[in-house]
Amino acid sequence: MEAGDGWLIRIRPPLGRLDRAQAMALHHAVTRYGNGRIDLTNRAALQIRGVAEANWQPLIELLVATSLVDPAPEREARRNVMLNPDWREGDDTHRIAIALLERIDEVPGLPAKMGVAIDAGVAPALSNASADFRFERGANGGLILRADGRAEGIPVEAGTEVDALVALARWFVATGGPISGRMARHAAPPPIMGTAVAPLPPRSRGETIRAADGLFRGASFGQIEAGELASCLSDSDVRAIRLTPWRGLILEGARPAAHPFADPDDPLLRVDACPGSPDCPQATVATRPLALRLAPHVEGHLHVSGCGKGCACPGAADVVLTGRHGRFDLARQARAGAPPLREGLAPDQISALFGAS
Ligand code: SF4
């Protein structure tokens, strides 16, 4: 898509994993054709920004040649599938993902933002990540398929998961779901396809990361420089890179001593902040310096937004600071631009409020 700083290319590597050759190709792509930085999205995808019009075609050819992008645009658009990053080869998450990717053409066309979370580990880990169809572990230990926004899902037998997904997606389309755009906003009661089962209580992000086959590499504000990617790959123990929706990567096979890793519970990984001023012309405030200062002092999810558009986080955060006329408005449990509790605060006033002076 076109953005203020050139073309923005979103990449969803199959299985949310890049082998070493793909990761090297990504490094080349972002240094040769992009702005030298990789964005990690909260749907476990990658973004390259700042691509010039003349570079768009060779970049796509490179990504197709390395199987990071499907050569068929329609298949690519349907491949909005996120895996719990702690999957192992042959487990339920991996098995369902392979089956789904093979039959992705059977899933009916859905609104662009809709996606599938394959989260069939010991307990759900992606409950807070954006998805519309969720494969999860049910409270009875079996697999369920849950329509987002519903408390319970339908049980699915091994080998029938894709059939169940296709049936649920067809029901969504047939009952007018595309008008609402997302499953959670579609009010129709889901079809009865067996006795409904609740999912197991979710596992924390930290527990899931620690169970994964590799080490976590956090990325403040969800950005990683091409040089940092190269430094990860300079460790020959790193077999592959897995994406997560948690502002960080998992380096498969990495040894702890070889990498300065962010703690998965680092407060900075609970912070969203758009580029703000001076990088964005809409901003009248600098966002990231304030976010860095406040991160250790704010409980829960902090969002610092340069304006009411809220590009870095479309949802609600525990604390949200929205820039306006060179100052910030403060709200809680809200989206950027929501009616504030306090208006027109300077950064120093905010730091004092949170004990960060
Ligand atoms: S939220 Fe506003 S200031 Fe921040 S990047 Fe988006 S448009 Fe720019």
- Phi, psi at 22, each rounded to 5°: -65, -40
Ligand 1 center from residue 287 Cα (angstroms): 10
Q: Which residue has the higher pLDDT, 1 or 87?
A: 87
User: Would you put residue 276 in left (φ > 0), alpha (ψ -120 to 50) or beta?
Assistant: left
Q: How far apart are CA 26 and CA 63, in angstroms?
A: 8
State yes or no: pLDDT of 192 exceeds 80.
Answer: no
State yes or no: pLDDT of 309 exceeds 80.
Answer: yes
User: Which atom of ligand 1 lies nearest, measured to the CA of 280?
Assistant: 8
Least confident of 15-24, 53-62, 276-285: 276-285
- Which percentage of the chain shows pLDDT scores above 90? 83
Say if ligand 1 is within 6 A of residue 322 CB. Answer: no
Q: What is the pLDDT of residue 268?
A: 85
C-alpha neighbours within 13 Å on the C-beta side of residue 69: 23
**Mind listing the pLDDT tens digit for each residue in 51-76?**
999 999 999 999 999 999 999 999 99
Q: Do residues 345 and 329 make contact, with C-beta atoms less than 8 angstroms apart?
A: yes
Say if ligand 1 is within 6 A of residue 130 CB. Answer: no
Q: How far apart are CA 268 and CA 248, in angstroms?
A: 11
* Nearest alpha carbon, ligand 1 atom 2: 307
Q: How far apart are CA 259 and CA 322, in angstroms?
A: 35
What structural domains does the chain harbor? 2-71+213-258 (3.90.480.10), 86-185 (no CATH), 267-353 (3.30.413.10)
* Nearest alpha carbon, ligand 1 atom 4: 306
Sheet holding 81-83, edge to edge: 81-83, 116-119, 133-137, 143-147, 154-156
Q: What is the pLDDT of residue 260?
A: 61
Q: Do residues 96 and 120 make contact, with C-beta atoms less than 8 angstroms apart?
A: yes
| Residue 221 three-state SS | helix
Q: How far is CA 198 from the centre of its chain?
A: 24
> Which residues are within 8 A (CB) of 89 and not within 5 positions of it... i.e. 6 or more apart?
none
Say if ligand 1 is within 6 A of residue 285 CB. Answer: no
Q: What's the Cα-to-Cα distance from 272 to each of 16, 163, 178, 233, rounded to whole Å?
A: 22, 37, 29, 26
The packing angle between helices 161-174 and 92-102, to 10°, is 60
Which of 5, 223, 272, 282 to mutate for ligand 1's pocket (most ligand atoms within 8 Å of CB)? 282
| Residue 229 three-state SS | helix
Q: What's the Cα-to-Cα distance from 141 to each of 118, 132, 215, 298, 301, rounded to whole Å?
A: 16, 22, 28, 36, 31
Ligand 1 center from residue 336 Cα (angstroms): 10
If you average pLDDT over residues 213-227, what whole number do you get? 91
Say if ligand 1 is within 6 A of residue 321 CB. Answer: no
Q: What is the pLDDT of residue 213?
A: 87
User: Which atom of ligand 1 lies nearest, measured to the CA of 312?
Assistant: 1
State yes or no: pLDDT of 313 exceeds 80.
Answer: yes
If you average pLDDT over residues 298-315, what whole number do you get? 92
Whether the link from the prior residue into 264 is cis, omega within 30° of 0, is no
Q: Do residues 203 and 137 make contact, with C-beta atoms less than 8 angstroms apart?
A: no
What integer best gives the mean pLDDT of the chain?
A: 93
Say if ligand 1 is within 6 A of residue 108 CB. Answer: no
Q: What's the Cα-to-Cα distance from 39 to each of 35, 205, 298, rounded to whole Å?
A: 11, 19, 24
State yes or no: pLDDT of 295 exceeds 70.
Answer: yes
User: E strand or H helix at 179, and its extent?
Assistant: helix 177-180
Token pair 């250790």 is found at 296
Q: What global pTM score does this model have?
A: 0.87
Q: How far apart are CA 231 and CA 234, in angstroms?
A: 5
Virtual CA dihedral for 313, 209, 23, 273, nearest 10 degrees? 20
- Phi, psi at 70, each rounded to 5°: -75, 135
